[in-house]
């Protein structure tokens, strides 16, 4: 069988050539659609394997022209621009199969074999039609032979149709999963959603995603579902260890149908494994390995197969893009938050009495949150919101803050507007979405008598209740134009006096027992 491979990347052409030469095919290569057309005119090829995006004649146009020149030629599209739309469009324009880069070697070989087999059947059918003149055969014998051939053809057609329906369903599923995961930017949410979607398609006992921590140079299990999820979540592993290490080294998936009979695993490893069948696929973007995705044991008890590997690899390529997007978004978000924080620092630096206030609020809030068992994720939100809680003071005339006399009503209303202004400044940036409500609410009271929304009790989020205690404590223990700073015990007495009114009693208690308060008290006694 003679095959023409067309790709503007010579490396890809030669790779496919080497892979298929070993299967006994005769392979020619071409690096452009125009040259490929000249070769097709000169030589009788059975199969064309082409890239989609190429300078000059692109993949789909090349296939159309090749089929006009040589109707028996079959075509497989191999492309890095793998979208469902591309796949559907390719199938519409006479492409016999479609493989996404980075391709799986087994998948490529299977596709070539299947496509050439289909071609053989089609040619045999044409031959039947050519033989349809009775000639020397008797009419009865001819009819019998014809009906036998039609029966075989209908069987083959039913089989092809079944495969097409299966492929169509897979494309639909992949499309749905792609849409879902590419719309999420929060890494934890993204990874957990991804595992949900995979579990929805292949019911498995356990699944996990391990990402490479480039600073610590090791895998970290960032998402996990199933009966062992709590055991493995957050665990780390060296990059050269275990199945994940093998996947990363080989840059290709590992399928284990039944570990007891798999020669790649030693007896020692087999006895240690509680799993029977699994797939581990790499998360790759360009040349970078981001991590691995693992699915372990089907609930049905059946083993994983090549179809599952192809499905997981396709999903893995989508997840890789989404993971990278999420990381880039995080960097962008951190840069933007840093920029706004430095703006807030500048603002405080201009006011002698406010200097260091936001840093202190962040420090006290974090310590209270720690006592109250707030998650790391929530503590990060609290840290950023605390650092920016007074950003709304930008634009409020300086003389109002530094006025030694009592503020009039208008001036007081202007000051009070800063919590809402803070929300208005941060919101359009599109970052710190979960922290904005704490910035808006940092002057609310536990009994609902605060501003701007008069929220109280459980309607006031815990992080906001923490921030109000931290904010008030630092305000009381800092010097103001109109008074000296309060001593720590006096400030704590005030917090306790207002406990249940302005402040959540649980938060005040947590602060009273916090490490930071002990440290501040010791410092106060020394100086």
**What residues line the site for Fe ion (CB under 5 A)?**
390
Close Cβ partners of 187 (under 8 Å, ≥ 6 residues apart): 222, 323, 326, 327, 330
**Smallest separation, CB 248 to Fe ion (Å):** 49
Rank residues 369 and 388 by Cβ distance to Fe ion and give the closer one: 388
Contact 23, 112 (CB under 8 A): yes
**Smallest separation, CB 364 to Fe ion (Å):** 14
- Long-range contact set of residues 448-457: C-beta below 8 Å, sequence gap at least 24: 449/501, 449/502, 450/502, 451/416, 451/419, 452/416, 452/419, 452/420
Can you tell me the distance from the alpha carbon of 52 to that of 6, in angstroms, rounded to the nearest whole number?
Answer: 9
Contact 304, 253 (CB under 8 A): no
Rank residues 290 and 466 by Cβ distance to Fe ion and give the closer one: 466
Rank residues 84 and 420 by Cβ distance to Fe ion and give the closer one: 420
Find the residue with minimal CB distance to Fe ion.
Answer: 390
Rank residues 378 and 390 by Cβ distance to Fe ion and give the closer one: 390
**Smallest separation, CB 202 to Fe ion (Å):** 51
Contact 80, 59 (CB under 8 A): no
Rank residues 171 and 420 by Cβ distance to Fe ion and give the closer one: 420
**Smallest separation, CB 518 to Fe ion (Å):** 26
**Smallest separation, CB 468 to Fe ion (Å):** 9
**Smallest separation, CB 410 to Fe ion (Å):** 18
Report cis status (omega within 30 of 0) of the bond before 189. no
**Smallest separation, CB 390 to Fe ion (Å):** 5
Query: Which tokens is 91 given?
Result: 């199938």
Rank residues 84 and 400 by Cβ distance to Fe ion and give the closer one: 400
Q: What is the number of alpha carbons within 13 Å of residue 466 lying toward its C-beta?
A: 29
Question: What is the 3-state composition of the chain as percent helix, strand, coil, each rounded to the nearest 5?
Answer: 55, 15, 30
Nearest residue to 486 (alpha-carbon basis) of 516, 514, 524, 522: 524
Rank residues 384 and 390 by Cβ distance to Fe ion and give the closer one: 390
DSSP 254: E
């Amino acid at each position: 069988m003679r095959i023409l491979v067309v790709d503007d990347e010579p490396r890809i052409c030669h790779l496919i050539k080497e892979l298929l030469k070993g299967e006994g095919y005769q392979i020619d290569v071409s690096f452009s659609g125009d040259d490929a057309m000249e070769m097709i005119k000169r030589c009788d090829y059975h199969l064309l394997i082409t890239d989609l995006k190429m300078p000059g004649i692109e993949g789909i146009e090349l296939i159309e022209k090749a089929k006009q020149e040589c109707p028996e030629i079959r075509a497989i599209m191999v492309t890095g621009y793998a979208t469902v739309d591309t796949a559907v469009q390719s199938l519409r324009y006479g492409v016999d199969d479609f493989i996404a880069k980075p391709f799986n070697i087994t998948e490529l070989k299977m596709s070539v074999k299947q496509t050439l087999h289909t071609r053989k059947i089609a040619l045999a059918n044409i031959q039947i039609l050519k033989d349809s003149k009775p000639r020397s055969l008797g009419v009865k014998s001819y009819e019998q032979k014809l009906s036998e051939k039609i029966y075989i053809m209908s069987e083959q057609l039913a089989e092809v149709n079944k495969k097409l329906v299966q492929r169509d369903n897979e494309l639909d599923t992949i499309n749905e999963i792609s849409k879902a995961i590419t719309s999420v930017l929060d890494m934890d949410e993204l990874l957990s959603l991804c595992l949900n979607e995979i579990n929805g398609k292949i019911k498995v006992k356990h699944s996990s995603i391990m990402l490479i921590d480039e600073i610590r140079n090791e895998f970290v299990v960032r998402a996990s579902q199933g009966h062992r999820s709590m055991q493995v979540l957050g665990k780390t592993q060296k990059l050269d260890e275990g199945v994940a290490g093998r996947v990363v080294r080989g840059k290709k998936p590992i399928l284990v149908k039944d570990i007891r009979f798999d020669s790649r695993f030693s007896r020692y490893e087999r006895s240690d494994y509680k799993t029977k069948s699994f797939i581990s696929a790499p998360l790759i973007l360009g040349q970078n390995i981001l991590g691995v995705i693992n699915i372990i044991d089907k609930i049905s008890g059946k083993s994983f197969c090549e179809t599952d590997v192809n499905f997981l690899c396709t999903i893995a390529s989508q997840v890789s893009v989404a993971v990278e997007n999420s990381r880039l978004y995080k960097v962008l978000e951190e840069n933007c938050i840093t920029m706004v924080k430095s703006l807030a620092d500048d603002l405080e630096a201009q006011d002698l009495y406010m200097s260091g206030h936001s840093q202190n609020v962040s420090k006290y809030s974090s310590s209270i949150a720690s006592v109250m068992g707030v998650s790391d994720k929530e503590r990060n939100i609290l840290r950023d919101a605390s650092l920016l809680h007074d950003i709304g003071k930008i634009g409020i005339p300086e003389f109002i803050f530094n006025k030694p006399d009592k503020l009039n009503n208008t001036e007081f209303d202007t000051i009070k507007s800063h919590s809402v202004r803070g929300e208005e400044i941060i919101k359009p940036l599109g970052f710190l979405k979960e922290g904005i409500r704490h910035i808006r609410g940092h002057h609310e009271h536990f009994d609902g008598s605060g501003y701007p929304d008069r929220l109280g009790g459980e309607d006031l989020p815990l992080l906001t209740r923490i921030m109000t205690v931290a904010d008030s404590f630092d305000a009381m223990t800092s010097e103001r134009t109109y008074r000296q700073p309060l001593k720590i015990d006096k400030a704590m007495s005030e917090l306790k006096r207002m406990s249940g009114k302005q402040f959540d009693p649980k938060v005040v208690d947590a602060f009273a027992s916090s490490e930071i308060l002990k440290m501040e008290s010791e410092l106060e006694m020394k100086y």
